[in-house]
Structure 1
Amino acid sequence: MTSGSTTAASPWFVRPPSAEHPARLFCFPFSGSGASAFSAWPAALGDVEVCPVQFPGRENRLAHPHYGTYEKLAADLVEPLAPLLDRPFAFFAHCAGALPAYETVLRLAERGLPTPDRLFVSGQPAPHDASRDRMLTMTETELRAEVEAFVRSRGIEPRPDMVELGLMVLLRDHAAAGAYRRTEPAAVDCPVVVLHWRDDPDVTLADLQGWRRYADSVEFREVDGGHYDFMDAPDELRKLLTHWP
């Protein structure tokens, strides 16, 4: 074990979390993506260590069986998370990643484990409203076009093999999103901070109001930028994510 490391390497994290920071921020990616969605983020935001979560079935875990459902993903994540909850921590989750993040909070509480100091959800309607996602009505051809447009938006010309791999991951994640059903809110025991991106063409501030039913303390913050601008860790977002410990 190297100096400063608190645990052996886990496939759930792209790097072993360090003991050098007093707080941790576990980051959940959106459908079709992986921990690389946070590759432009610094390793730490002030005193808060950034810990991207790597779901199975993508990137360096492509050979691992897909998680199948958000509920199973959350249940499977509890064990690797448990040793890392020895200091203040928060969850940040973007788009559909907010759904397994929320389910993970519930399972931590069920196991009597620590729960986050904050649950930050970005650009994602509440769990009972998740079935309204426009992508759930898309055909495979339309989803392929989404993958191509996303890759181009990151300044990369999409190669056919890149698109096919991205589509495969997205289709499996898409199936999990389509199968997810929570008709009645179950409250978490931590404050929820809901982030709305002002230039998001698909998710309005009104779409996010359902989160009010999920915690005693729910705060809404508007952030400049579009749906995927979180990937660049803009200053406004960084400040929000460093003021909770």
Structure 2
Amino acid sequence: MTVIGAGAWLTRKPSPTAAGRVFCLPHAGYGAAVFGSWPERLRGVEFLPVELPGRLTRFTEPMPGSFGELAHDMIDGLGPYFDVPFAFFGHCWSGLIAYDVTVQLEAAGGASPTHLYVSSQVAPQDGPAGRMLDMDDADLAAELESTIRSQGKEPHRELVAVYLAMLRADVELNRRYVVPEPRRVTCPVTAIGWTDDDEVRPDRMTGWSACGDTTFELFEGRHERFLDAPPELLETLCAGIPTRV
């Protein structure tokens, strides 16, 4: 286990005046910068992107060997900021991390999230799932290059190699995550699907009902529309945080 301060896990210091917090976890192969289009705060609730090991300022840190270890380390790092109502949002791969963090916090009996949000991810007992599980390194590199070009940039071999190592580590974490019988969480769960998602169809997410009291939401858009900070998504996240603001 690696114990690291909250400063390593967050891209900015949480506001002492926040009425609530949503910790936002990036999807596989990416860092906290994917939430660059998101506002810092909405109606007193602040959105805090979480930086995972192996990314940007944490580039030299190895990814833990399991989601459980990663969740444990994350709790150690973020614990000081569980002093107001908080929730976790995870998209695709990171939805499983958000679930594991919630399970561990509830089992510990201390501060626990008021809500768990999972987007574009099958329930733990229905995985491991995802098209990248069947990709070799050449396929993953091609995927990265395509993503970089879609952003109007030209991929550089050295940069692709760096991101390939990160993405491969993330994919292998997913492969090792096998949960035959999920533990039910006591906080509400919202499973979010997207109408044009060709990665994880919304009808594959029904298994989340076995993980807790689950509400299903369906929003317009493709698999990665969350990057654009859709208003309906942000409103849903804020609705699960009880505040007086």
TM beyond 0.5: yes
- Seen in structure 2, the aligned counterparts of structure 1 residues 107 and 9 have a Cα distance that, compared at 3 Å, is closer
Alignment of 1:107-118 (within 5 A): 107-118=104-115
Indicate the larger mover: 148-157 or 168-177.
148-157
Specify the alignment match of 2:30 in structure 1. Answer: 33
Normalising by structure 2, we get a TM-score of 0.92
Specify the alignment match of 1:73 in structure 2. Answer: 70
CA-CA distance at 1:106 after TM superposition = 1.1
Asked if the contact 1:197/1:225 (under 8 Å) is kept, the reply is yes
Asked if the contact 1:118/1:191 (under 8 Å) is kept, the reply is yes
Specify the alignment match of 1:181 in structure 2. Answer: 178
1:51-95 per-residue CA deviation (whole Å, 9 max, x = no partner) reads 111111111100112222111101111112221111111111000
**AA at the equivalent of 2:101:** T
Q: Does 1:10 align with 2:3?
A: no
Q: Does 1:228 align with 2:204?
A: no
Alignment of 1:80-229 (within 5 A): 80-215=77-212, 217-229=213-225
In 1, Cα distance between the equivalents of 2:54 and 2:22?
22
CA RMSD, aligned part only? 1.4
Asked if the contact 1:93/1:120 (under 8 Å) is kept, the reply is yes
Q: Does 1:238 align with 2:234?
A: yes
**AA at the equivalent of 1:224:** E
1:164-203 per-residue CA deviation (whole Å, 9 max, x = no partner) reads 1111110111111111111111101110001001111121
CA-CA distance at 1:113 after TM superposition = 1.7
- Of 53, 62, 73, which residue of structure 1 is paired with 2:50? 53
**Structure 2: any 5+ residue segments left out of the alignment?**
none
Asked if the contact 1:41/1:233 (under 8 Å) is kept, the reply is yes
In 2, Cα distance between the equivalents of 1:119 and 1:185?
15
**AA at the equivalent of 1:198:** T
In 1, Cα distance between the equivalents of 2:151 and 2:65?
28
Asked if the contact 1:115/1:189 (under 8 Å) is kept, the reply is no
Asked if the contact 2:118/2:192 (under 8 Å) is kept, the reply is yes
- Seen in structure 2, the aligned counterparts of structure 1 residues 156 and 45 have a Cα distance that, compared at 3 Å, is farther
SS at match of 2:96: helix
What is the number of residues matched between the two proteins? 237
**AA at the equivalent of 1:209:** T
Asked if the contact 2:63/2:70 (under 8 Å) is kept, the reply is no
**Structure 1: any 5+ residue segments left out of the alignment?**
1-7
Asked if the contact 2:35/2:227 (under 8 Å) is kept, the reply is yes
In 2, Cα distance between the equivalents of 1:230 and 1:211?
20
CA-CA distance at 1:9 after TM superposition = 5.5
Q: Does 1:64 align with 2:64?
A: no
Asked if the contact 2:6/2:78 (under 8 Å) is kept, the reply is no
